[in-house]
């Protein structure tokens, strides 16, 4: 059976992280995979999450199956956290939420739903987009193509080009949008630009599939949800993939949700039945633990306040690190201006240096960033920032 099977190339993000783990250089620096690290290089458990987890475990009397769609408290609270309580009330039974194994599971279940409707159009993704969007959605049977988004010359979104491309998309196609903190570029559209995008989606009868993996990592929990909230308020059909990996720090617990908004409660019910059927044939039901923690935490006002305070600290620290990197690089060399690093949002940005320099940073200094030049801002620290500034400036001016 397996005599002829060939080993596949490593995943561009997880593979680089593994290479980093194996590197014996004591001075190595990991700016690859999107994981938050504190000043000591640890990925701590949020203290509110730890307390919620303990209370959950203490109160748990059984390990029997949870409802297949997920913990009801989780489903209720996660929809309200993302879309707000009044918007969820307004949508009523037109909105359904199903827990999934992480944001990847949500994307995959959304893709399975699209395939099950007989959808034959294309899913349009930003150029560039998160590397895993392609295999994740294509292997469900969807066909992907790109719309223009990031312009390396202006080191930001070329919004005119984006809008022009969206206006050409055939009616009924699906447009994948990053809810906030665009991965990999960190370049987001403004609220006014979201309004314009939503108008085009409405005019052209396009269906948004909004990937929200970093709510609270950009400008704030509500600010980061502007686009997705406007989309559900204004459009008849919306798909959402939500992740709790980053904002609750639940990476390994694989906690996410797919949300479906259809024109009627009847359609939503039918769509949900297809998601549940897809889950059943792929993995039956999502792991419970992470959703149990989030549901418990968000049901408790004190824990919720504590978590929001911690999340704010994480966001502010990342903004401080961005600022520090931009200023440090601008002062240390004059070949490139790095102001855009301070302007970008969330966990990532493109450093925009030549690809050869990325490889030199890895080979000569054990500084790991993706070949696209994406860096994980949360991999920076007060300690390693001066080293990174020095090394990047050195390779740039060699
Ligand atoms: C990333 O982009 O680094 C994260 O979303 C982790 C992952 O699974 O790729």
Residue 238 is predicted with a pLDDT of 98
The token pair that represents 384 in the structure block: 């390693």
Q: Could you tell me which residues are beta bridge partners of residue 99?
A: 257
The token pair that represents 110 in the structure block: 């959304």
Mean pLDDT computed over every residue of the chain:
97
Rounded Cα gap, residues 44 and 258, in angstroms: 26
Q: Is the CB of 393 under 6 A from ligand 1?
A: no
Residue 166 is predicted with a pLDDT of 98
Long-range own/partner contacts, residues 12-21 (CB < 8 A, 24 or more apart): 12/131, 12/370, 12/371, 13/131, 13/132, 13/370, 16/368, 16/370, 17/368, 19/368, 20/368
Whole-prediction pTM value? 0.97
CA 219 to ligand 1 center in whole angstroms: 20
Mind telling me the catalytic residues? Answer: 130, 211, 246
- Domains with residue ranges and CATH for the chain: 12-44+316-396 (3.90.1150.10), 65-299 (3.40.640.10)
Nearest CA to ligand 1 atom 6: 34
Q: Is the CB of 368 under 6 A from ligand 1?
A: no
Residue in 34, 182, 212, 244 to alter for ligand 1 test, most ligand atoms within 8 A of Cβ: 34
Instruction: Give the pLDDT mean for 147-154.
Output: 97
Residue 232 is predicted with a pLDDT of 98
Rounded Cα gap, residues 325 and 339, in angstroms: 9
The helix/strand/coil state of 328 is helix
- Does pLDDT of 398 surpass 90? no
Q: Is the CB of 13 under 6 A from ligand 1?
A: yes
pLDDT by residue (tens digit) across 20-62? 999 999 999 999 999 999 999 999 999 999 999 999 999 999 9
Instruction: Give the pLDDT mean for 259-278.
Output: 98
CA 13 to ligand 1 center in whole angstroms: 7
Confidence grade of residue 285 (pLDDT, cut at 50, 70, 90) = very high
pLDDT by residue (tens digit) across 246-256? 999 999 999 99
CA 210 to ligand 1 center in whole angstroms: 16
Q: Is the CB of 293 under 6 A from ligand 1?
A: no
């Amino acid at each position: 059976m397996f005599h002829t099977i060939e080993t596949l190339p490593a995943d561009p993000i997880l593979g680089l992280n593994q290479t980093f783990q194996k590197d014996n250089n004591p001075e190595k620096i990991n700016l690859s995979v999107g994981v938050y690290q504190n000043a000591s290089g640890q990925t701590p458990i949020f203290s509110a999450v730890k307390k919620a987890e303990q209370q959950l475990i203490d109160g748990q009397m059984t390990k029997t199956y949870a409802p297949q769609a997920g913990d009801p408290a989780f489903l209720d609270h996660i929809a309200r956290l993302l879309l707000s309580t009044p918007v969820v009330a307004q949508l009523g039974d037109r909105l359904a939420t199903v827990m999934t194994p992480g944001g990847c599971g949500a994307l995959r279940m959304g893709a399975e739903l699209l395939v099950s409707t007989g959808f034959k159009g294309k899913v349009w993704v930003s150029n560039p987009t998160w590397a895993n969007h392609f295999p994740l959605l294509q292997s469900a049977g969807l066909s992907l193509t790109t719309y223009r988004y990031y312009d390396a010359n202006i080191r930001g979104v070329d919004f005119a080009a984006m809008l022009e491309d969206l206006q050409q998309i055939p009616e009924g196609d699906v447009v994948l949008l990053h809810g906030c903190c665009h991965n990999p570029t960190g370049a987001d559209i403004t609220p006014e630009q979201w309004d314009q995008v939503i108008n085009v989606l409405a005019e052209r009868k396009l269906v948004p599939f909004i990937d929200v993996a970093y709510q609270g990592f950009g400008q704030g929990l509500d600010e980061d949800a502007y686009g997705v909230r406007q989309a559900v308020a204004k459009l008849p059909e919306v798909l959402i993939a939500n992740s709790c990996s980053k904002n609750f720090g639940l990476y390994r617990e694989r906690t996410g949700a797919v949300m479906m908004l259809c024109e009627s409660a009847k359609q939503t019910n039918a769509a949900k039945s297809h998601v549940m059927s897809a889950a059943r044939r792929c993995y039956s039901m999502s792991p419970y633990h992470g959703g149990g923690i989030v549901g418990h935490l968000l049901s408790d006002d004190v824990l919720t306040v504590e978590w929001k305070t911690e999340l704010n600290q994480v966001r502010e620290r990342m903004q401080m690190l961005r600022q520090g990197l931009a200023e440090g690089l601008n002062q240390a060399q004059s070949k490139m201006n790095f102001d855009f690093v301070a302007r970008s949002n969330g966990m990532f940005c493109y450093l925009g240096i030549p690809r050869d320099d990325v490889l030199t940073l890895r080979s000569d200094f054990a500084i790991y960033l993706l070949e696209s030049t994406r860096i994980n801002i949360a991999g920076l620290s007060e300690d390693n920032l001066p080293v990174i500034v020095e090394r990047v400036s050195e390779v740039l001016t060699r």
